[in-house]
A and B are shown apart, each in its own frame.
Chain A
Amino acid sequence: MHPHSRTLGVVLLLALAALALFPLVGGTFYVQLITKVMILAIFAMSLDLLVGYTGLVSLGHAAFFGLAGYALALLQPKYEPMSIFITLPAALALCAVFALLTGALVLRTRGIYFIMVTLAFAQMVYFVFHDTALGGGSDGLYINNKPLVGWGELTLFDLENRTSFYYLVLVLLVAVYLLLRRVLASNFGHALQGIRVNEHRMRAIGFPVMRYQLGVYVLAGVLAGLSGYLSAAQFGFVNPEIISWHQSGAVLMMVILGGMGTLSGSMVGAFVFVLLEEFFKDDTVFGAVAKHWQLLMGLIIVAVACFLPRGLIGLLTRRKRDAGDA
């Protein structure tokens, strides 16, 4: 199901080398921007598991992103850091439980109903944090310290240092990519792709489809949680906007822009989306139009949907088949 293109492999390795060297040359602003992009790339890959590989279009993926961010904000004491080895597993476990409970319900629906029900659950999470004192209402919560990578007095490395934070995110991005490539090439991954292509026949040849879908829904939720946790830690605050449907829509656009059903496409989508956003917002280039950058972004999305149905990554991996690639 995935003849791996050699061009793609070379491009990915070059991109990795560029990312590894970037903090040596890039200024603070850009190191932070690329950190943000890499975090969103994890988010986009997690959604692609559902949309591109299993054929489940979710419009509520920001729920997991936000839940994990709020988990970090609520767990960590106000004026001192807490070990990442406590807050991260707790945040991910929360996402896994939420995915298991909501997945058991949303996976009973298909197509447009699946879109609506995932959106509805995300809106519920949004309003829990927006309308109650728990999450500081619409102002959100500050996270005054970065998570501590270590235990008690022992610090392995300091996330307050932006370069250290950058490299932690880069390592996690590579780890998530390699993990997912492995999982998608396994029997489990092939079963997911079978479900996307022909769910009915999958049942007829003996696959308990719902169990596989729930499995991937939990995996996608946990990885979205990882990105939400990192994002909250990077910016030092959370507010309900990170759970809004705009956020769910943005990550869906990243996946479509880059190319559905390809992990590398999702990463490319995240990079291009965020960098274009920064570019279009630049009023030295676009003047008065910069305020309405969404208009320009909309045109790009329309153009990709019309002329590159396999997304930007389709330019690199020209194949006649429509099966997934890693």
Chain B
Amino acid sequence: MLEVSQLSKHFGGLRANSNVALSVRVGQIHVVIGPNGAGKSTLINMLSGDLPPTSGSIKLDGREIAGLRPDEISRLGVGRSYQKTNIFSSFTVLENCRLAAQSRAPQAWRLFTPADRHAPAIALARHAIAQAELDGREHRVASTLSHGEQRQLEIALSLATAPRVLLLDEPLAGMGAEESMRMVALIGKLRSDHAIVLVEHDIDAVFALADVLTVMVEGQVLASGSPAEIRANPQVQAAYLGTEHGHV
């Protein structure tokens, strides 16, 4: 589904990402972990088109998408969420999701059809709201939602574009324990019909969700494999798990 190879991003002399490789298919959650500054967000930003890669390849179903614009990558079926909540805060939950769904509609340019009667977009939006477990809050203005609900809306916005690949950048950021558990359950449910790349710090969530784990340090892939392999990897223990988060 999504195949990344030799992907690099240099900012001047800084090698934010060097020769990163990664692959993920539908039904799989590929978690990327690493200390702050390891280049995880840079990687996600390259996959979503927010940052053009310096070199390397990103293939979606065999098609090269590296260097395309974010809106083009989105329309090819790659959705993303942001570490820092990035929603339409003055719109309601339904308006947020309908707008996202509307970008899939071939009638996006129809000037005289009211958007709030655009049935396909509304159906898609309501589906996304249900998936993100925000039902009942459709008509709440986004800025009045709790932090946890805004994080759910962040996911719902991506889901409303009906993506096949989901890039989730620290979806648990700033969440309490209970909210985190709900979010982990939600992401787990999305696995069956999405290929998911997940960047996350919360180590319990990481091991609860990961099918494949990639550990990044200083812009490079230190190790990649199943959670059991990563746990047993002495390099990883020395560089990351052991030092920063205690025993695993």
Q: How many A-B residue pairs have CB under 8 A?
A: 103
One of A186, A197, A208, A209 near B112 (C-beta < 8 A): A186
Complex interface: stretch among B21-29, B95-103, B129-137, B196-204:
B95-103
B48 / chain A contacts, CB cutoff of 8 Å: 204
Q: Which residues of B contact A185 (CB under 8 A)?
A: 114-116
CA distance in complex: A91, B83 (Å): 49
Count of interface residues, chain A, beta-carbon cutoff 8 Å: 29
B220 at the interface (CB under 8 A from A): no
**A197 vs B90: C-alpha distance when bound (angstroms):** 8
Q: How many whole Å from B207's CB to the nearest CB in chain A? A: 29
Inter-chain contact A204/B113, CB cutoff 8 Å: no
Contact at A205–B112, with CB atoms within 8 Å? no
Closest to A219 in B: B111
Complex Cα distance A193/B115, Å? 12
Q: Which residues of A contact B50 (CB under 8 A)?
A: 204
Q: Is residue B11 within 8 Å, beta carbon to beta carbon, of the partner chain? A: no
Q: How far is B80's CA from A159's CA once the two chains are assembled, in angstroms?
A: 58
Interface residues on B, range: 35 or more
User: Of the candidates B75, B99, B100, B110, which one forms a contact with A186 in the assembled complex, judged by CB atoms under 8 Å apart?
Assistant: B110
Interface assignment of B66: CB less than 8 Å from any CB of chain A: no
Within 8 A of A (CB), among B74-97: 74-75, 79-80, 82, 86-91, 95
Bitwise, A167-207 to B at CB < 8 A (1) or not (0) is 00000000000000011011111110110011011111111
Q: Is A153's CB within 8 Å of the partner chain B? A: no
Task: Tell me the bound Cα distance from A320 to B143 in angstroms.
Answer: 12
Question: B95 to chain A: closest CB distance in Å?
Answer: 6
The distance in angstroms between the C-alpha atoms of A320 and B80, with both chains bound, is 30
Flag whether A84 is at the interface (Cβ < 8 A).
no
Which of B115, B118, B161 meets A205, CB within 8 Å?
B161
Residues of the B chain whose Cβ atoms lie less than 8 Å from the Cβ of A187: 102, 105, 107-110, 113, 115, 118, 121
Residues 194 to 246 of chain A near chain B (Cβ within 8 Å)? 194, 197-198, 200-209, 215
**With the chains together, A232 CA to B228 CA distance in Å?**
78
Known: A185-B115, A186-B112, A189-B115. A205 touches B86 (CB 8 A): no
Residues of chain A contacted by B114 (CB below 8 angstroms): 182, 185-186
- In the complex formed, the residue of A with least CB distance to B121 is A187
Q: How far apart are A217's CB and chain B's nearest CB, in angstroms?
A: 15
Q: Which residues of chain B are near A197, meaning CB under 8 Å?
A: 88-91
Expressed in whole angstroms, the Cα–Cα distance for A1 and B111 within the complex equals 16
Kindly state whether residue A149 has any CB partner on chain B within 8 Å.
Answer: no
Q: Write the chain B residue with the least CB distance to A322.
A: B90
Q: B110 contacts A1, CB within 8 Å?
A: no
Contact A1/B91 with A183-B112, A205-B99 known, Cβ cut-off 8 Å: yes
Q: Mark B126-155, 1 if CB is under 8 A from A, else 0.
A: 000000000000000100000000000000
Chain B, residue nearest A205 (CB)? B100
Closest approach, in angstroms, between the C-beta of A4 and any C-beta of chain B? 12
B15 within 8 A of A: no
A186-B110, A187-B102 in contact; A204/B86 too (CB < 8 A)? yes
* B104 sits at the interface (CB 8 A): yes
B89 touches A182 (CB 8 A): no
**Is A100's CB within 8 Å of the partner chain B?**
no
A198, A206, A209, A323: most-surrounded residue (chain B CB, <10 A): A206
Given A188-B110, A201-B86, the answer on whether A206 and B75 have CB atoms closer than 8 Å is: yes
Partner among A1, A191, A193, A322 whose Cβ is within 8 Å of the Cβ of B108: A191
Question: Across the interface, which residues of A come within 8 angstroms of B158, CB to CB?
Answer: 205
Most chain B CB within 10 A, of A183, A189, A207, is at A207
Question: Do A207 and B111 form a contact, CB below 8 Å, given A198-B86, A323-B91?
Answer: no
* Contact status B157-A205, CB under 8 Å: yes
Q: Is A318 an interface residue (CB 8 A)?
A: no
| Identity of the chain A residue whose Cβ is nearest the Cβ of B100 in the assembled complex | A205
Q: Which residues does chain A contribute within 8 Å of B121, judged by CB atoms? A: 187
Contact of A182 among B69, B87, B112 (CB under 8 A): B112
Question: Is B64 located at the chain interface by the 8 A CB criterion?
Answer: no
Minimum C-beta distance from A140 to chain B (A):
36
Q: Is B39 an interface residue (CB 8 A)?
A: no
Is residue A321 within 8 Å, beta carbon to beta carbon, of the partner chain? yes
Q: Does B244 contact A (CB under 8 A)?
A: no
Known: A205-B103, A206-B161. 7 other contacts (CB 8 A): A186-B113, A187-B121, A198-B89, A204-B80, A205-B161, A206-B75, A206-B104
Question: Mind listing 8 A-B residue pairs with CB under 8 Å?
Answer: A188-B108, A190-B115, A191-B102, A194-B91, A198-B86, A204-B86, A205-B99, A206-B103
User: Chain B: residues with CB nearer than 8 A to chain A?
Assistant: 48, 50, 69-72, 74-75, 79-80, 82, 86-91, 95, 98-100, 102-105, 107-116, 118, 121, 141, 157-158, 160-161
Partner-B contacts on A (CB < 8 A): 1, 182-183, 185-191, 193-194, 197-198, 200-209, 215, 320-323
